[in-house]
Structure 1
């Protein structure tokens, strides 16, 4: 039988890190990309919200609900 507990733990940690990053950016704090060290920005579109760095090495796309 395959043990998925390690994979599940990493996914849970990754989700928690992304959630924290989203909260910080949406609160107006300066958050740097882990790869290029440039600030992440919040961009709003009618159907979604994007958090990304200028080089797009970090890009989170969130669906916006009305």
Structure 2
């Protein structure tokens, strides 16, 4: 799987910071460093499935990112 663009809405960005203490930069680093992808479930609409990306940010933190 290749991710070519990443859009994070302001609402999700706020949640990442206040609830999970994760920065936008850390999330973007996961996708730039060839994460492991897992299919989670089929979405209601074609092409809108739920996936999990697993990887480490430059900070050394291991993150799980659902998208």
Q: Is the TM value for this pair above 0.5?
A: no
Higher RCO (C-alpha under 8 Å, 6+ residues apart)? 2
Larger radius of gyration: 1
